[in-house]
Structure formats: structure tokens, C-alpha cells
Structure 1
Amino acid sequence: MSDTAWKPRLVALDVDGTLLDPATQTVSDVVRSAVRRAVDAGAQVVVATGRSVLGTAPILDELGLTSGVALCSNGAVVADAATREVLSVQTFDPAPVVAELTTRLPGASFAVEQIGTGSLVTSKFREHQLHGPQQLASLDELAAEPVPRLIASWDEHDPAEVLAVLDGAALPGCTFTIDHYEPWVTVVPRGVTKGAVLEKIRAEQGIPAEDTFAAGDGDNDVQMLRWAAHGVAMGQAPEIVRAAADEVTGPVAEDGLATALDRWFR
């Protein structure tokens, strides 16, 4: 959509690799200003991320978002953007998933989200990977209760190896996505995607489907980009993500999101 008279009313934005540059772990002033212009123009901006609520909160603060909702854990957890109150949670039984992944990814480290408090982990993750306190647990302890999100990190392996090992796999009761930059798998309940949850939000708010915009760079953004009337892939995104989008903008390191938003929100 190149018509500058059109303005999206629902703007869904991924965090890592879209809003935030993973190399610097910051949201640039240019991107922050572009998002603020969208908000000031009346668009409903929704942060849609694989991060937990704890990991999403600093981004909401940085962007100054004080209305609407945030999609966390790829949509398994929805929170109020202003109060950070958790509005909805979808969970799954992690036990059969852990059993399957320990077979396919021997030696992998696991983490499950404990909403609002941190994560149970089988070994410590780096701070930028998991946000909030990490509590060491055995596999049995980690898999004992239903969870909204499980992460498996296959250290010392290449992301392409993870992709190959899980090609065609079906994890019980779950949907999973694979990171293109780290050897890392994110698992959420079956049917949960950013796109599916955004569609529910769009319908509840009465926003026309043709007035939706989304931007992202990862495997977990593919359904969201297909959902949007205008989907934008970041310049560093792999081909599978680019193919799901209507447009490819510049990479995150070059403020590609601002370039895309500025077409409508100058």
C-alpha cells in the first residue's frame, strides 16, 4: 500500500530485531519518535513479542505506550499496556514437549515462564535472553505445571541444525517457532500465534481488517505479517519472513521500522 492517504489504525510491532537492535539492546531515538507519531495520529500500537511480560514492560516504558494491550510470549499472554495487568493466559502441558525435545535436542537447556516473576531454568540463560529472575530446577520440576511458554536452547549448535532436526516435527498440543539467529526454540499452546491473537483484538475493537499493519523479522512474525493488510519485513529478515510480507524495509540497524512508518506518520 503506497497510498499516503491510507493510514493503518492497528499497528503491530515485534520487539527484538524490529523495534530494538539486538546488537545494541536499544530502541533508537529515530524509531521511538516514529512510533510516537503513529500513536499521536490515533493508531492503536500493539507490541507483539516472544518476550515475557517482564521483558516487554521496559519496551512499553521506552515507547511511552499507555493504552491498549501488549502481546507477550508470542500471544500466549496478553497484558494491559498501561497497568501491565495480565488480561489473558493460554497454557499447555510441558511434560510431553520436554520429553520430545530432550530426545531431538540432546543436551539442550530449558526454561519455562512463570508469569510476572521470572523463569524456571535447567541452566542459566544470558540476561538478554530471559528477563527477570531465573530459578534453577530439574526437568521434572520444570515440566510439573502448565505453562504459557517454554524455551529450548541448544547451545554449541547452529540454528540451521535446530531447523533440520525439528523439520516436520509436531510437538504435543503446541505451536513452535525457531530463531534464525540463535539455536533456540520457543513453544506456546497449539494455535497461538501473534497473528491469531491480533485478529481477536482487531475484531473486539471493531477495526477493519484493511486498516492493519505489522512489522517483524522472525519466524514467530510470519503469521502476523500474513495477517496484516500491510506486512513489513525488516531488511535483515530471512527469506521465509520476507516472503510473508508485502514489503521489505531497511534492517533494524538502519532504523528500517521508522522508514516504513514514516510513509504514513510523518
Structure 2
Amino acid sequence: MVTDAAWKPRLIALDVDGTLLDPATQEISAMVRAAVRRVVEAGAQVVVSTGRSMLGTLPILDDLELISGIALCSNGAVRVDAAAREVLSVETFEPGPVLAELARRLPGAIFAAEDVGAGSLVTSRFHEHELHGPQQLASLDELVSVPVPRLIANWVDHEPAEVVEELAGIRLPGCTFTLDHYEPWVTVVPEGVTKGSALEKLRTELGIASEDTFAAGDGDNDIEMLRWAARGVAMGQAPAAVRAAAHEVTGPVAADGLASALNRLFR
């Protein structure tokens, strides 16, 4: 962890839900927006790094007035040009074997396969705030007919802890998966793809030193990103495993913990 009091990171990776945005209000606070604006004005590269789809990320870029750089969506599987609001690259995997295994282990789960820039194919309707963009009902066969960047399983009417217990220690074929600590969700992306791996690729391309990186997040899908950063900051409401992966813990999202962490660096 960087300890120099005068240190200012050049690459700032920020999770959305539970970090930038308070899930209880579905809003980014004025204090957090001002803190992010201060970082941008200082010349640092802000990268929104989220499990959300591209369609769910674009409103966040608008809210933060980010008009340059890169956004990493779908846990790093989809890279978006923040200026042009266009997809730059997509990594995919074959969802068939994964869906079959999840359907066996999570009976009654509903599924969503991302169609980048268009919405999702779903086996049953998700709540609007859970999936961003149009939802098209599809059979399981239709869902697995083409490679996808992201597959979601929602074990409806179960608790997140039940999903953790059911999937403890397993490996799903050809993919990386993370669990949600708010909802009974499994998010699946291509093997080897994480927020951390996508950020490392971007860092190398930008020529930014590894010691000049910062990340903040609150979920299991943020663990690799927090470990990647020279300073990883976990939100105060994050579960123990996420806090353990970070260098420090700030206040919860409801108390503008991200703004506090950024304001200490960019006064």
C-alpha cells in the first residue's frame, strides 16, 4: 500500500452499486459527484468499473459527466469508450455448460444473458432495477445459442447465503463467477476475466505505473480489483472478505464513504 502523504493516483477505478451509487436511493450523492469531478480536474483517469451492462453504465457516466477515457462493464468483459459511448471490445464464453450446471444446483433460478448494447435475453422477467435495458423472454436453448459476455442466475426466493453454500468450492466450466452479498445472484463472465485483469490491461496500455493506481468497491466482484490497486479501499458496508482484500476501509456508501476516501487524496 502507498503511504506517501503527498501521493495522488493517476488511475482511479470505481465500482458503481454500493460505491458510487447508494442502492437504497438509486442515486449518486452530490458529495460523491463533486469528489469525482475534483479527481478528473486534477488530471487523473477515472474508470467506472462495474458488473453492470453497458446500458446500465451509460447513465452513470452521464451523471458523473465523464466524457473521456474508458469504462469497464460486465466485470471487465465489455470495454466502452466513455467519450463516444461505444463498445470497444467484448470478451465472451459459451454459456451452455455453465447454465446447465447452475440450473442443476440452483433449481428454480431464472437466467439472463447479456446482448451488448441491446439488453438481455431472460428466462423470466427481472425487476427493472436489476437488469438495465430491454428484456426479451427466451427459452433456455435460445439463451445458450450464442457466446455471451455475461450470464446472470437469480435464485429467486432464496437468500444470498444459500447461493454461497450451494456453490462453495465448485468450478464452473470456461468461466469466472462471482456472488452477490445483497441478492441471491451469480454473475458469470469469461474465464480469467475480472475487474482486476481488465484494469491491469488498461493500465499497461496507458503507461501508468502500478504504484499509481487506486480502486474502491464493496462486492465480491471487486476483490481482484482491490488487490490489483496500489491502494484498494473497501466501502464500510462491504462483507469481511472484501474488507480483507483492501488496504483500508472507508465509510459506508450511505455516509458518502467514497467521497471521504477521494477527498483525502484530492483536496
TM-score, normalised on structure 1?
Answer: 0.99
Partner of 1:48: 49
Partner of 1:145: 146
For each residue in 1:133-168, what CA deviation from the matched residue of structure 2 results, as whole angstroms up to 9, or x when unmatched? 000001111111100000000011110000010011
> SS of the counterpart of 2:47?
strand
Partner of 2:264: 263
Equivalent position amino acid for 1:97 in 2: V
> SS of the counterpart of 2:88?
strand
Partner of 2:225: 224
Partner of 2:92: 91
> SS of the counterpart of 1:188?
strand
- Structure 1 position 83, deviation (Å): 1.1
Equivalent position amino acid for 2:47 in 1: V
- Structure 1 position 15, deviation (Å): 0.1
Q: Tell me if structure 2 keeps the 8 A contact 1:73–1:188.
A: yes
- Structure 1 position 3, deviation (Å): 3.1
Give the fraction of aligned pairs with identical amino acids, expressed as a percent.
75
Partner of 2:130: 129
Equivalent position amino acid for 2:217 in 1: G
Equivalent position amino acid for 1:253 in 2: A
Equivalent position amino acid for 2:142 in 1: E
Partner of 2:119: 118
Q: Tell me if structure 2 keeps the 8 A contact 1:13–1:19.
A: yes
> SS of the counterpart of 1:54?
helix
Q: Tell me if structure 2 keeps the 8 A contact 1:9–1:211.
A: yes
> 2:4 & 2:18 partners in 1: Cα distance?
26
> SS of the counterpart of 1:262?
helix
Q: How does 1:1-266 map to 2 (within 5 A)?
A: 1-266=2-267
Equivalent position amino acid for 2:191 in 1: R
For each residue in 1:58-84, what CA deviation from the matched residue of structure 2 results, as whole angstroms up to 9, or x when unmatched? 000000111110000000000001111
- Over the residues paired in the alignment, what is the CA RMSD in angstroms? 0.6
Q: Tell me if structure 2 keeps the 8 A contact 1:4–1:263.
A: no
> 1:254 & 1:34 partners in 2: Cα distance?
14
Equivalent position amino acid for 1:92 in 2: F
For each residue in 1:16-70, what CA deviation from the matched residue of structure 2 results, as whole angstroms up to 9, or x when unmatched? 0000000000000000000000000000000000000000000000001111100
- Structure 1 position 2, deviation (Å): 4.6
For each residue in 1:94-131, what CA deviation from the matched residue of structure 2 results, as whole angstroms up to 9, or x when unmatched? 01011000000000000000000100000000111100
> SS of the counterpart of 1:67?
coil
Equivalent position amino acid for 1:208 in 2: A
> SS of the counterpart of 1:263?
helix
User: Any unmatched runs of 5+ in structure 2?
Assistant: none
- Structure 1 position 4, deviation (Å): 3.1
> 2:162 & 2:86 partners in 1: Cα distance?
38
Give the count of matched residue pairs. Answer: 266
> SS of the counterpart of 1:123?
coil
Equivalent position amino acid for 1:28 in 2: S
Equivalent position amino acid for 2:208 in 1: I
Equivalent position amino acid for 1:189 in 2: P
> SS of the counterpart of 2:128?
coil
Structure-2 change in CA distance of 1:258 and 1:2 (3 Å)? farther
Q: Tell me if structure 2 keeps the 8 A contact 1:77–1:89.
A: yes
Equivalent position amino acid for 2:58 in 1: A
> 2:244 & 2:264 partners in 1: Cα distance?
21
Q: Tell me if structure 2 keeps the 8 A contact 1:75–1:193.
A: yes
> 2:178 & 2:164 partners in 1: Cα distance?
9
